[in-house]
Amino acid sequence: MDSVPKSAASVKKILCEAPMESVVQVSGTVISRPPGQENPKMPTGEIEIKVKSAQLLNTCKKLPFEIKDFVKKTEALRLQYRYLDLRSFQMQYNLRLRSRMVMKMREYLCNLHGFVDIETPTLFKRTPGGAKEFVIPSREPGKFYCLPQSPQQFKQLLMVGGLDRYFQVARCYRDEGSRPDRQPEFTQIDIEMSFVDQIGIRSLIEGLLQYSWPSDKDPVVVPFPSMTFAEALASYGTDKPDTRFGMKIVDISDVFRNTKVGFLQDALSKPQGTVKAICISEGAKYLKRKDIESLRKLAADHFNQEVLPVFPKANRNWNSPVAKSIMEEQRSELIRLMEIQEDGVVLLTAGEHRKACSVLGKLRLECADLLEARGLVLRDPALFSFLWVVDFPLFLPKEENPGELESAHHPFTAPHPSDIHLLHTEPKQVRSQHYDLVLNGNEIGGGSIRIHDAELQRYILATLLKEDVKLLSHLLQALDFGAPPHGGIALGLDRLICLVTGAPSIRDVIAFPKSFRGHDLMSNAPDSLPPEELKPYHIQVSWPADSEAEKSSLNQPYHPES
Amino acid sequence: MDSVPKSAASVKKILCEAPMESVVQVSGTVISRPPGQENPKMPTGEIEIKVKSAQLLNTCKKLPFEIKDFVKKTEALRLQYRYLDLRSFQMQYNLRLRSRMVMKMREYLCNLHGFVDIETPTLFKRTPGGAKEFVIPSREPGKFYCLPQSPQQFKQLLMVGGLDRYFQVARCYRDEGSRPDRQPEFTQIDIEMSFVDQIGIRSLIEGLLQYSWPSDKDPVVVPFPSMTFAEALASYGTDKPDTRFGMKIVDISDVFRNTKVGFLQDALSKPQGTVKAICISEGAKYLKRKDIESLRKLAADHFNQEVLPVFPKANRNWNSPVAKSIMEEQRSELIRLMEIQEDGVVLLTAGEHRKACSVLGKLRLECADLLEARGLVLRDPALFSFLWVVDFPLFLPKEENPGELESAHHPFTAPHPSDIHLLHTEPKQVRSQHYDLVLNGNEIGGGSIRIHDAELQRYILATLLKEDVKLLSHLLQALDFGAPPHGGIALGLDRLICLVTGAPSIRDVIAFPKSFRGHDLMSNAPDSLPPEELKPYHIQVSWPADSEAEKSSLNQPYHPES
């Protein structure tokens, strides 16, 4: 290290010759900036230091990219040199805001509402159907821990254990392979309470978000509106509606009940057959013919569903033969029913209720993208539109075998009190006491009132879901020993902070995220291990037949992902 | 669920017939307790409820043990029914105190000292020499993540990244197999700062503990005393002295320098040869002959070291031939030097400095146990005696090959500024800037000022430690890009809370701990997995040759550990 220089010239030399991003120590006198040179945007913008001595503490070598150049770098480069990327204004803002917001949440829960912060294990046991859980070999041959997807079982056991207000900022794990904007480890604000109902949890969370909301954003208005799952599907075609803008789905079956148009009649005659539409305000002004065609193609390709553009008031029809088949009186009825203004475009589809809603829900978001690309603002980034979605079905038909049931959320969710009588007769009709919290079209949390009755839990697990109850015997047994009624929720912290900061990806609110392939591009994890390090765990690698080439390249130098 | 009854008789019936630990809901009027029936020890001791209606919300089946009967249960039973054990007064107290204390720490760090709470990954890469790290197979054949033993690399990278005050309540992992009072996952208060020196970190931590200390304990007095490693070894025979009581080791080599006693002369003539002793006050009164013999046996069995009891003032000698060989003048000199009172017993040993200190350090604690078993109080459980131990050696000779060096703590520890010149000539003589925090004889934290100079770090890793620097290339590279001087510390939270609450084991301050064999006795983790669940991870179990019997018993019912 250089010694402290004395002369003004040598000070100047040190400071001028130090490469960008080097670390220097200066001593001197704090003085006001000369008039006109103040910078009110900087916290230190009113002062400067009259330097007496300077010392170069650490030199910075040539940087792989400029720190300020946040947007222009590839993400792979940013992740490889994460420690440099962290110096950017954006990453500093995101991580510091995250820390402050979590701290406020803790104050709210711990100090204001008597919650107890309890850590639960991450070395746990496979949960039934936990196909996405990482496995960890132990030193006992053939025995494995698993990294849990959430502390669900533990939080319920804490309620049985009399820790009646639990919370934890919990690390969770999910092995989903490569999925964009997902992380193999993520964090949730995990909450559970005894003697609480749905409204109790909801107002707790509303207060929590209001209390912890950053002061530089518009304040959170409570209570949040709520909507049933059925209504969300019918009006927005999704269980996580972005309620910042309209363009709601309208059921126009009645308009076409007596039409002669064959494909509409076909659709309406089938079970749950409907005709649905969304109206794109100013669509005729901002959307081009190719936009409409790409929307129709999307519906055809991804939903196998025909979508029909109608221009009820605009003097345009693009000679679409299907559109022509809509009669003038139906057009007028549409205008009345959907409150269509000048230049409004209607996208119409016919088919089974859920499918028709889904396709229009997707097109609604696509239209918003298209209109915003043309300069309209539908989804104000400064607006935070919270929504509770409630009354989900308790069960869904299994995808691989629709004759059987699976839990819509998880098997500990309590049935809706009004529907309990249907459990034995029409379980598919039973609504649950599950609730999702949606923010600007993203699910940021979910929870439920749980089953606290051991018999009911056994009936649902064994009889309705046909699960192996042995794996959950400890939980079932716990319910037998005076479990209080309880419920809870988990908020996805990474997603929430991402929405609050307006970051383009959750990777921008995590200090050291994995790439979308699950790699740490800085340290090159996961990495190969010599076989002797696997020996204590009694495992060996089963090399796929075609991976000999791959195997021999394991010790090759590292190539970043693109 | 029962419907709400109306008559007083039916209310009484419900409440009287509900088994212990059942959950009931009562409605009624809060009234004062009749005079004389108040219980000031209960928060609700002044009131009672005049019940109008009652409802049994959940019945409790016959309990495997009484909740109040905390001490009499075996720990295996407590861990198997952890959710019941959590209802005990002790577990509620421990977990709630832990939550409050951590919350106060967060307030101190986040709100008062500008620290940023940053989460670091737990799916990471093997660190060099990280033989105790759990491995996690990924979906890429032969590639593994590891669970880190601490966020050491990440916290240093955060300093390089300009997050100059980092903290995290960090989950850490260490696979040590079966070790009493260790947990495979544990929690540390992890802290790192830029532009800080040893004193800066130490006063931060002193303030942190003072601020977060429970109000029902004696307040923490700061600053904490500090002691060099050399002094701790010489006076207490350990690097974590329990400074609640004296009985310090005294070097009495000079007393025996000119003696004729052969074995003392032998010892003194060897390199670093010494004669050392501790004085057990009132030992002659409280210790029995068999106690002294068991202490001597311990020294012989575990340290291969002869220990000699001397009774300088008591009129007793038990005819020990070695003791007789100590002359009267040496005895008087001992009394003067060690300030021996009536009934004091001296335990004397001769040998190499470090070994002599170690054996007497161990005997010092054994004596304290023995005296306390006889009713003396040496270590007041209400007393919290903090101590900094500093100036550790930077390197130690490798156990398996004493010609080579290994880091006494970890390879990122900075050398003591006064000793840097010795790095190239006498590295074994270099002291480090490591510091340990000791509480009542337990190491509860440790940290250091780190190396921020890439060249120095490379020299230590490659030349002195002969490590493969490739595995740490990202960290070395980071130091090249303007890393600030930095340092930090980690406090072992489980151990700290254990000492604060006076719990007999860290398992009593963790909601769901593993048994000493690393098992979750409630859910039976780790558990066997069907081979198809290992397939996505490209691993298979290598069954030990003699474990076929074990393998076939994998699906047998569970037997709790004893």
* pLDDT tens digits, one per residue of B234-258: 999 999 999 999 999 999 999 888 8
The percent of residues in chain A predicted with pLDDT above 90, rounded, is 78
Instruction: Give pLDDT, residue B265.
Output: 87
Residue A105 with chain B: CB contacts under 8 Å: none
Chain B, window 260-279: residues with a beta carbon less than 8 angstroms from a chain A beta carbon: none
The whole-angstrom distance between A21's CA and the closest CA on chain B is: 6
Cis peptide before A526 (omega within 30 of 0): yes
| Residue B316 CA: distances (Å) to CA of B31, B311, B349 | 70, 6, 19
Q: Identity (one letter) of the amino acid at A103?
A: M
Given CB atoms, is B63 within the 8 Å cutoff of chain A? Answer: yes
* pLDDT tens digits, one per residue of B404-426: 999 999 999 999 999 999 999 99
Interchain pair A512, B21: CB under 8 A:
no
Distance between CA atoms of A530 and A533, rounded to whole angstroms? 6
Residue B325 has pLDDT above 80, yes or no: no
* pLDDT tens digits, one per residue of B74-88: 889 999 999 999 999
Among B153, B177, B511, whose Cβ lies nearest the Cβ of A119? B511
Q: Is A447 helix (H, G, I), strand (E, B) or coil?
A: strand
Instruction: Give pLDDT, residue B366.
Output: 97
Interchain pair B141, A453: CB under 8 A:
no
Q: Which residue of A has its CA nearest to B481?
A: A60
Residue B100 with chain A: CB contacts under 8 Å: 110
Work out the number of other CB atoms within 10 angstroms of the CB of residue B18.
18
> Among residues B354, B300, B355, which one has the least CA distance to residue B322?
B300
B303 CB contacts (<8 Å, ≥6 apart)?
A: B355, B358, B359, B362
| ipTM summary value | 0.93
Interchain pair B136, A136: CB under 8 A:
yes
Residue B551 with chain A: CB contacts under 8 Å: 141-142
Q: Which residue of A has its CA nearest to B532?
A: A131
Where helices occur in A275-320 by DSSP H, the ranges are 283-286, 289-303
* pLDDT tens digits, one per residue of B441-492: 999 999 999 999 999 999 999 999 998 888 899 999 999 999 999 999 999 9
Which helix (H) or strand (E) segment holds residue B550: the answer is helix B548-552
Given CB atoms, is A526 within the 8 Å cutoff of chain B? Answer: yes
Chain B, window 139-168: residues with a beta carbon less than 8 angstroms from a chain A beta carbon: 139-147, 153-154, 157-158, 160-163
Residue B556: pLDDT band with limits 50, 70, 90: very low
Query: Taken in order A78, A81, A86, A88, is the CA torsion positive or negative?
Result: negative
Residue B524 with chain A: CB contacts under 8 Å: 125, 474
Residue A158 with chain B: CB contacts under 8 Å: 83, 86, 511
Distance between CA atoms of B507 and B327, rounded to whole angstroms? 51
Instruction: Give pLDDT, residue A316.
Output: 58
Residue B506 has pLDDT above 90, yes or no: yes
Among A86, A161, A518, whose Cβ lies nearest the Cβ of B87? A161
Given CB atoms, is B553 within the 8 Å cutoff of chain A? Answer: no
Residue B316: pLDDT band with limits 50, 70, 90: low
Instruction: Give pLDDT, residue A552.
Output: 47
Tell me the residue length of chain A.
562
Interface test with B, best of A108, A469, A474 (most B CBs within 10 A): A474
Interchain pair B533, A135: CB under 8 A:
yes
Among A160, A185, A542, whose Cβ lies nearest the Cβ of B123? A185
A368 CB contacts (<8 Å, ≥6 apart)?
A: A242, A245, A247, A378, A379
Interchain pair B58, A485: CB under 8 A:
yes
The answer to whether B270 touches B241, Cβ cutoff 8 Å, is no
Given CB atoms, is B103 within the 8 Å cutoff of chain A? Answer: yes
Contacts across the A-B interface (CB distance below 8 Å):
324
Distance between CA atoms of B50 and B30, rounded to whole angstroms? 6
Distance between CA atoms of A309 and A349, rounded to whole angstroms? 9
Instruction: Name the DSSP letter for residue A253.
Output: G
Q: Which residue of B has its CA nearest to A471?
A: B523
The answer to whether B168 touches B192, Cβ cutoff 8 Å, is no
Among A81, A106, A118, whose Cβ lies nearest the Cβ of B106? A106
Given CB atoms, is B184 within the 8 Å cutoff of chain A? Answer: yes
Instruction: Give pLDDT, residue B318.
Output: 55
The percent of residues in chain B predicted with pLDDT above 70, rounded, is 93
Tell me the residue length of chain B.
562
Domains and CATH numbers, chain B: 8-58 (2.40.50.140), 91-228+385-509 (3.30.930.10), 245-373 (3.30.1360.30)
Instruction: Give pLDDT, residue A527.
Output: 94
* pLDDT tens digits, one per residue of B35-94: 999 999 988 999 999 999 999 999 999 988 888 765 667 889 999 999 999 999 999 999
Average pLDDT over chain A, rounded to an integer? 91
Among A121, A479, A512, whose Cβ lies nearest the Cβ of B512? A121
Among A106, A120, A139, whose Cβ lies nearest the Cβ of B511? A120
* pLDDT tens digits, one per residue of A65-86: 888 765 667 889 999 999 999 9
Q: Which residues of A187-217 are buried (b: 16+ CB within 10 A; e: fewer)?
A: bbbbbbbbebebeebbebbbbbbebbbeeee
Residue B103 with chain A: CB contacts under 8 Å: 106, 110-111, 117
* pLDDT tens digits, one per residue of B328-355: 788 888 889 999 888 899 999 999 999 9
Which phi and psi angles does A314 have, rounded to 5°? -70, 145
The percent of residues in chain B predicted with pLDDT above 90, rounded, is 78
CA A261 to chain centre: 42
> Among residues B227, B165, B250, which one has the least CA distance to residue B441?
B227
Instruction: Give pLDDT, residue A561.
Output: 45
Q: Which residue of A has its CA nearest to B24?
A: A484
CA A99 to chain centre: 19
Given CB atoms, is B333 within the 8 Å cutoff of chain A? Answer: no
Distance between CA atoms of A496 and A506, rounded to whole angstroms? 9
Interchain pair B527, A143: CB under 8 A:
yes
Instruction: Give pLDDT, residue A69.
Output: 63
Interchain pair A145, B21: CB under 8 A:
no
The whole-angstrom distance between A39's CA and the closest CA on chain B is: 22
CA angle A551, A557, A558 (to 5 degrees): 95
User: pLDDT tens per residue, chain A (562 residues)?
Assistant: 444 556 889 999 999 999 999 999 999 999 999 999 999 998 899 999 999 999 999 999 998 888 876 566 788 999 999 999 999 999 999 999 999 999 999 999 999 999 999 999 999 998 876 678 999 999 999 999 999 999 999 999 999 999 999 999 999 999 987 777 889 999 999 999 999 999 999 999 999 999 999 999 999 999 999 999 999 999 999 999 999 999 999 999 998 888 777 888 889 999 999 999 999 999 989 999 899 999 999 999 999 999 989 887 766 555 555 666 777 788 888 889 999 888 899 999 999 999 999 999 999 999 999 999 999 999 998 999 999 999 999 999 998 898 899 999 999 999 999 999 999 999 999 999 999 999 999 999 999 999 999 999 999 999 999 988 888 999 999 999 999 999 999 999 999 999 999 999 999 999 999 998 999 999 999 999 998 999 999 999 999 886 554 454 444 444 444 3
Question: Dihedral (C-alpha) A545, A550, A554, A555: value to the nearest 10 degrees?
Answer: 130
Given CB atoms, is A112 within the 8 Å cutoff of chain B? Answer: no
Distance between CA atoms of B239 and B409, rounded to whole angstroms? 13
Among B19, B144, B187, whose Cβ lies nearest the Cβ of A526? B144
Residue B518 with chain A: CB contacts under 8 Å: 138-139
End-to-end CA distance of chain A, in Å?
A: 39
3-state secondary structure B469-510: HHHHHHHHHHHCECCCCEEEEEEEHHHHHHHHHCCCCHHHHC
Residue B508 has pLDDT above 90, yes or no: yes
CA B289 to chain centre: 33
Distance between CA atoms of B28 and B265, rounded to whole angstroms? 85
* pLDDT tens digits, one per residue of B118-155: 999 999 998 876 678 999 999 999 999 999 999 999 99
The whole-angstrom distance between B413's CA and the closest CA on chain A is: 17
Q: In what order do the strands lie in the sheet with B143-146?
A: A527-528, B143-146, B135-137
Interchain pair A119, B510: CB under 8 A:
yes
Residue B63 with chain A: CB contacts under 8 Å: 481
Among B63, B119, B157, whose Cβ lies nearest the Cβ of A83? B157
Residue B534 with chain A: CB contacts under 8 Å: 135
Residue B142 with chain A: CB contacts under 8 Å: 528-529, 541, 543, 551, 554
Given CB atoms, is B550 within the 8 Å cutoff of chain A? Answer: yes
The answer to whether B136 touches A135, Cβ cutoff 8 Å, is yes
Among B84, B157, B518, whose Cβ lies nearest the Cβ of A481? B84
The whole-angstrom distance between A415's CA and the closest CA on chain B is: 14
Instruction: Give pLDDT, residue B6.
Output: 65
Cis peptide before B148 (omega within 30 of 0): no
Residue B524: pLDDT band with limits 50, 70, 90: very high
Given CB atoms, is B43 within the 8 Å cutoff of chain A? Answer: no
Largest CA distance in chain B: 96
Instruction: Give pLDDT, residue A556.
Output: 44
Residue B116 with chain A: CB contacts under 8 Å: 95-96, 99
